[in-house]
Amino acid sequence: MIYRLCRSGILWVCCLAAWPMAGWAQSPIVSTGSGPVQGAIENDLAVFRGLPFAAPPVGEQRWREPQPVQPWSAVRQASTVGASCPQKRGLALEGGGDPGIINEDCLYLNVFTPRVDAGAKLPVMVWIHGGALIFGGGGLPLYDGSALARRGAVVVTLNYRLGRLGVFTHPALEQERPGGPVNFGLLDQIAALQWVRQNIEAFGGDATKVTVFGQSAGAQSVLALMASPLAAGLFHGAIAESPYAFPGHTRAKAAATGAAIADAVGLPGARASMDALRRIPAERLSALDGKEVSLTTSFITGDAAVPLPLLEVFQQGREAAVPLVIGSNSDDASVVLAFGIDPAQAVQKLGKARVLVKAFYPEVKDARQLGLAMGRDVGFTAFARRIAYLHSQKSPTWRYYFSHANLGAGESPGAAGPGAGHGAEVPYVMGTARQCGCLGQPATPLDLAVEQRLGDRWFGFAATGNPAGNVAWPQDNRGRGVVLDIGDQDTVRPAFMSVRLNTIITGLKWAGSRAARQ
């Protein structure tokens, strides 16, 4: 009788209270601020998929801030992931897996919890997927939160608007709302964090113990959230896996790109109206190719979400004062190949200076490897070090270097032979190495040992604010310059690449100051 009442939506509050005590293994029902939702039991976890955290950003709501969800009263089924946000088909296959159904109505999240108990007060881990801000989805199997939930976390994975729907402006939009929002995907992430603050207690989580973590564009998003005034107080720890040094776009540059996009879809460029732009099918916008119609990888500087360049916020010490874990991979530059960049040509452009540069890389064999090594260190390793040093002045900071390379992946295009490519750490963090099909061979006992250590550290950080493990991990700072090399074993490396990275950072500072003067 009670089961029938719960299924019909009657007495769902009572069912919520009874389920944890009774071990009811049918379909847990939880109250959210928008209405009751019914998940499923999967391997002793309660899993809720496809929960809307904002209204569909379609029609007149395209290129606007995320709006509140329309409430419901009947129990909403939450057993299927929501559609992934519009993107070009095929890109995600190399960066996490098939995004499945794609639809502009895509602002959904998923919750994995070991206890549907409002008094459990478990640490919360909110995953932000990567994909250059143009592809991916929170519901991909690679990002399944079950393994971290089994450790005792409430795990949330989410979608956010991508590509030309996520980072965009146009002269007509500037006229419609001068200085208004342009980083819509980041605003979606903030809306999801607001949903977490309001609702996660009902799923067993502690809204005062939220860690945001993400990889690549997801890591860049983590840093943007730390720098954003709109995200203040919504999280209490951060993990940035392979954030990158690519600068943001100015509003003027973004508006020019918006005009080029309008022209590419048959509208009169800068003279196109927002009504006409909002009528263009999302799939047509996603299918556009060319640098002139792309703002790939970076946010736009100059709205309420991103008022200043990210690095400038950290240089001024204005970012959120939360503990931070940040790092990069030994072959992060593998990602440049996916964008069609020839690393050997990049080295040739150095001219005579390449002789001086090569002195820092005695292990490389040719121009291609030198280009990849430079790309890794300029784009990722040095940037992580720079952010870590800046942030360590106000909050505890730990830096890592992920070097475990699955042997089944074969010869990597990295600087020194096999290496851990961009995103290689993700299945080990999420605990999906067995089922992701992304290692090149079945997970070995060594892979599973790395997975266990890394997952334990990330969960420990979320639970206690310290990524402790069997090898002590010292905090990083300007004086110490230490990383934890996460390889086949965990190894502490003081003064890691210090001479090389100091030279790169000094060069970047000089180039930045020169550009500012011109």
pLDDT at 11 over 70: no
pLDDT at 460 over 90: yes
Q: Could you tell me whether strands 108-113 and 76-77 are parallel, antiparallel, or unpaired per DSSP bridges?
A: unpaired
Judge whether 124 and 151 are in contact, CB under 8 Å.
no
Average pLDDT over residues 81-86: 97
Structure confidence at residue 348 (pLDDT)? 62
pLDDT at 16 over 50: no
pLDDT more than 90, % of the chain = 74
Structure confidence at residue 359 (pLDDT)? 78
State which H helix or E strand residue 136 sits in: none
Higher pLDDT, 416 or 215: 215
Structure confidence at residue 417 (pLDDT)? 45
Structure confidence at residue 13 (pLDDT)? 35
Structure confidence at residue 362 (pLDDT)? 82
* Mean per-residue pLDDT of the chain: 88
Structure confidence at residue 412 (pLDDT)? 34
Per-residue CA distances from 76 to 41, 267, 324 (Å): 16, 40, 36
Which class in CATH covers the domain with range 345-518? Answer: alpha beta
Average pLDDT over residues 354-365: 75
Strand partners, 30: 37
Closest C-alpha among 306, 287, 286 to residue 298:
306
> How many residues are given for the chain?
518
pLDDT band for 42, please (50, 70, 90 cuts). Answer: very high
Average pLDDT over residues 40-45: 95
Cβ neighbours of residue 460 under 8 Å, at least 6 residues apart?
466, 467, 468, 469
Q: How is the beta sheet containing 36-38 ordered, strand by strand?
A: 29-31, 36-38, 76-77
User: pTM higher than 0.85, yes or no?
Assistant: yes
Annotate 144-206 with DSSP letters as a single string.
Answer: --HHHHHHT-EEEEE----HHHHB---HHHHHHSTT---BHHHHHHHHHHHHHHHHGGGGTEE
Average pLDDT over residues 250-270: 98
Average pLDDT over residues 258-284: 98
Cβ neighbours of residue 35 under 8 Å, at least 6 residues apart?
71, 72, 73, 74, 75, 76
Domain ranges of the chain: 345-518
Higher pLDDT, 36 or 355: 36
Higher pLDDT, 114 or 379: 114
Structure confidence at residue 17 (pLDDT)? 36
Phi-psi region of 453 (alpha: psi -120 to 50; beta: other; left: phi over 0): alpha
Structure confidence at residue 344 (pLDDT)? 60
Structure confidence at residue 437 (pLDDT)? 82
Average pLDDT over residues 320-329: 98
What is the per-residue pLDDT across 145-204, written as a single tens digit (0 to 9) for each? 999 999 999 999 999 999 999 999 999 999 999 999 999 999 999 999 999 999 999 999
pLDDT band for 1, please (50, 70, 90 cuts). Answer: very low
Measure the CA–CA gap between 70 and 388, rounded to whole angstroms: 41
What is the per-residue pLDDT across 234-245, written as a single tens digit (0 to 9) for each? 999 999 999 999
Structure confidence at residue 454 (pLDDT)? 98
Structure confidence at residue 256 (pLDDT)? 98
What is the per-residue pLDDT across 374-433, written as a single tens digit (0 to 9) for each? 889 988 999 999 999 999 999 999 999 999 987 544 333 333 345 899 999 999 999 999
Average pLDDT over residues 290-294: 94
State which H helix or E strand residue 352 sits in: none
Structure tokens at 118: 């409002």
State which H helix or E strand residue 504 sits in: helix 498-517
Structure confidence at residue 271 (pLDDT)? 98
